[in-house]
Structure 1
Amino acid sequence: MQPGADDPWSAPVATGPVRATVTVPGSKSGTNRALVLAAAADGVSRLRGALRSRDTVLMAAALRELGATVTEESGPGADQGDAEIVVTGPVGAARGTATIDCGNAGTVARFTPALATLARGDVRFDGDPRMRDRPLTPLLRALRELGAHIDGDRMPFTVRGTGAVPGGAVTVDASDSSQLVSGLLLAAARFERGATVTHAGHRLPSGPYLDMTVADLRAAGVVVDVDDPTADLLRAGATPAASTRRWRVEPGGPRPLDRVIEPDLNSAAAFVAAAAVTGGEVTITGWPAATEQPGRMLPDLLVAMGCRAELVPDGLRVTGGGRITGIDVDLSDFGEAAPVLTGLAVLADSPSRLRGIAHLRLQETDRLAALAGELGRLGARVTVTDDGLAITPVPLHGARLDPHADHRLAMTYAVVGLAVPGVTVDDIATTGKTVPDFARMWATMLAG
């Protein structure tokens, strides 16, 4: 069992090279996308290997409020957060005046409002205090342009569900979060005319997540066309002043599916980072040979920092090289890796620069400020830049660190604690957002 929010967790120091095989829970992003599509479909869907964590439990509860039936069954990895989930859709009558608690889950806050427009009745949305500051307004305005009735532009707000949305064309600035577009696309096939969604603004962050959304829609039989003029200009050698991308979702579907959720490659980052820190070897089971998850970039990033990474029959094997090399990289497509890479960078033998991650200021916490401030308690020299972080390695010492209710930060502190004695972490249980029982899994990994 993980220590509670009031019990500081002593990060264990590695006494030698870590050698372990680790099975991480199912993808949070994959699970919540699959849940939304299943609730939008007319029929029964079964999700195997789905993640059971705070964010996915909140999503399941939200879909029940919208009239879908969601039943969770324990899977073989239930103790590590895996579940089998049966969903019967489509969404229908909201339960009186329904209330959806989004917690601090961006996927719940941004994926369910469009579905709520298809239910009949009022649906009130609220969440943790931090959620009131996270980007949401462009999505709600876009839904109004498509014919939805919504009171408010940020949390708390109320969707006046009428059971139908006309749909059509809409332009949205999703520069702060690609989820603003995914939230529209996931429900668009249920709109009367479908939807054509155009992003116009700065470069889209975390673009691979939109590729995940499109792939999941197509797997469920939805017709989606994608037009990416910005990518065409970049391939031609031009430097566009702004970013434009367009998706056309045809009406009809999605159909119910039985599917297996991939392992969460983002959550795997901390475990394979242990190989880098200790000069050991960690294998992540079930690593897909091909995937839309942005975590597919993780092996190349670790190689750039001095590791060896290879696909083996069991999954992905990462072997530490005995030292960590600093890195200069644009992480705009994979900002989720920034916390753990920062943890490795403070232990490296040369400076690092992480770029393209200004949007991390708007995550579960301001990740850039939190990483600089908290790792600074260890003596680390981490500077916040306009679009990321600059890290200069210096000797470190122990300290008590606050993850600011952010699962990725808590995991990062565990990584640093492998090499720095005296690191304690407040609220390690916040890792339950994506990795239930992280502390036990971490100890098991260190035990080999």
Structure 2
Amino acid sequence: MTARALVLGANSLGSSTLHTPLRTRDTELMAAGLRAMGCHVSTVDDNLWLLRPRPLAGPARVDVGLAGTVMRFLPPVAGLADGAVAFDGHPRARRRPMAPLIGALRSLGARIDTRTDTHDGLPFTVHGVGRMAGGPVNIDASASSQLVSGLLLSAPGFDRGAVVRHVGTPMPKPHLDLTVHMLRSAGAGIDDTRPDVWSVEPGRLNGRAWEIEPDIESAAPFLAAALVTGGTVTVQGWPPASTQPARRLLDLLRRMGGEPALTPRGLVMRGTGAVHGLSADLGAISELAPVVAALATVADGPSHLFGLGHLRRDESADGLGRLAAALSALGADVVPEPDGLRIRPRPLRGGTLRTHGDRHLAYAGAVLGLAVAGVNLDDVACTAKTLPEFPRLWSTMVLGYEGGSTDAEARVRRG
């Protein structure tokens, strides 16, 4: 939500505010990229950002770091700028798929120079002229729905808007639903009634006040902690209604033995002392698969997690294979399948869980560390990508507050 609100604000008439924005490496890079192109983004206080749109222009340089949102949301914005905008980032980011987005932007009227004639990835330069023709475009977004979101967020500023058609294998759409919802909230005319087709009308967006929800993905390991310990965790500020797949997460945790309840204090998750195995399609919530898989390894029965085939082509790595290997290294009985995992619980052992810089694997390891002695993470700093406070929050939850509180409360960062 923070990333999308920043881009929408930069493409709007009038100022926008972001209340309780996510402040992490990724969102700071997004704000810095917009500033480089001339947009005003300032911090009023820890809980409020102010964005004032200004004419976008180059020359500018955008550091995308390892942020998929930055490398996919800002190039279309750069197409609307007047001047050259150069993009580059972490060496690992250069291996991420950018050819579909670059090809789509070229077909919509952008001029983009890449490193070589055969390399359509970072680094590259968008030579904007202050406007984009827009129109119909096909894109294979199988690697990431962010490729479609990036086009949609800037499409109202194109002369003819855009009709974006996904032509690849099926992809999860919860984040696209969030994009569509936020575009409409900013005044965009968008039709998503046809499967894999999004039609955006040209027109200026309205600046507005955005209330950024708590991040469901970051909340998942804290909620899972209640299940593996038989304890209680409260996530403050949980929204009664959400554009994120909150209900799906809670349904999964309820099936696995949790007892969630929305109270005036927040969402309270109580563990029952047992974790149950399950069969579940996680295709729409694949980011939560590592935490769910970690719970499955300590359950009282086997689990089948499916709908995850797209993780095998996630960015430049086999995310599903890495998850299976990480759990197997701790003694778990995990059988990978083309579309998911079959997990049979058995006694686990301590050891080092390799995260490969993936915060989702770090979350899974932290959950298992509550149930298995001697579990170590080789890199917990990777959680700073979306939740810089994770080590402190986790320690606070486990140890409790001063005064002997038995119910640890996790203040999960919004975003």
TM-score, structure 1 normalization: 0.85
Letter in 1 for 2:175: Y
Alignment match, 1:423: 375
Q: 3-state SS of the aligned residue for 1:442?
A: helix
Alignment match, 1:100: 62
Asked if residue 155 in structure 1 is aligned to residue 122 in structure 2, the reply is yes
Specify which of 384, 389, 398 is matched with residue 432 of structure 1.
Answer: 384
Asked if residue 143 in structure 1 is aligned to residue 143 in structure 2, the reply is no
Alignment match, 1:225: 191
Alignment match, 1:292: 243
Alignment match, 1:20: none
Specify which of 356, 359, 367 is matched with residue 310 of structure 2.
Answer: 359
Letter in 2 for 1:215: H
1:266-345 correspondence runs (5 A):
266-345=217-296
Alignment match, 1:191: 158
Displacement after TM superposition at 1:91 (Å): 4.8
CA change 1:183–1:290 in 2 (3 A) is same
Deviations 1:196-239 (A, max 9, x none): 1112232122x1111111111111111111123xxxxxxxxxxx
Asked if residue 389 in structure 1 is aligned to residue 341 in structure 2, the reply is yes
Aligned length: 394
Contact 2:81 2:128 in 1 (8 A): yes
Which whole-Å CA distance do the structure 1 matches of 2:343 and 2:66 have between them?
Answer: 28
Which whole-Å CA distance do the structure 2 matches of 1:116 and 1:258 have between them?
Answer: 24
Q: 3-state SS of the aligned residue for 2:77?
A: helix
Supply the RMSD in Å over aligned alpha carbons.
Answer: 1.5
Alignment match, 2:33: 62
Asked if residue 410 in structure 1 is aligned to residue 374 in structure 2, the reply is no
Contact 1:63 1:91 in 2 (8 A): no
Alignment match, 1:204: 171
CA change 1:395–1:364 in 2 (3 A) is farther
Deviations 1:117-142 (A, max 9, x none): 01112112122233223232212111
Deviations 1:39-76 (A, max 9, x none): 1113221111001001101111111112111112332x
Q: 3-state SS of the aligned residue for 1:60?
A: helix
Structure 1 window deviating more from structure 2 (187-196 vs 283-292): it is 283-292
Alignment match, 2:143: 176
Structure 1 window deviating more from structure 2 (114-123 vs 268-277): it is 114-123
Which whole-Å CA distance do the structure 2 matches of 1:382 and 1:194 have between them?
Answer: 47
CA change 1:277–1:365 in 2 (3 A) is farther
Which whole-Å CA distance do the structure 2 matches of 1:327 and 1:48 have between them?
Answer: 38
Displacement after TM superposition at 1:295 (Å): 3.3
Which whole-Å CA distance do the structure 1 matches of 2:273 and 2:315 have between them?
Answer: 33
Contact 2:97 2:315 in 1 (8 A): no
Letter in 2 for 1:319: R
1:44-63 correspondence runs (5 A):
44-63=15-34
Q: 3-state SS of the aligned residue for 1:122?
A: strand
Alignment match, 2:412: none
Specify which of 347, 368, 372 is matched with residue 298 of structure 2.
Answer: 347
- What runs of 5+ residues in structure 1 fail to find an aligned partner? 1-29, 76-82, 229-243
TM-score, structure 2 normalization: 0.91
Letter in 1 for 2:161: G
Letter in 1 for 2:203: G
Alignment match, 1:21: none
Of structures 1 and 2, the one scoring higher in RCO (CA 8 A, sep 6+) is 1
Contact 2:187 2:205 in 1 (8 A): yes
Q: 3-state SS of the aligned residue for 1:333?
A: helix
Which whole-Å CA distance do the structure 1 matches of 2:55 and 2:167 have between them?
Answer: 31
- What runs of 5+ residues in structure 2 fail to find an aligned partner? 115-119, 401-407, 409-415
Letter in 1 for 2:146: Q
Displacement after TM superposition at 1:364 (Å): 8.2
Contact 2:97 2:316 in 1 (8 A): no
Which whole-Å CA distance do the structure 2 matches of 1:395 and 1:407 have between them?
Answer: 25
CA change 1:104–1:281 in 2 (3 A) is same
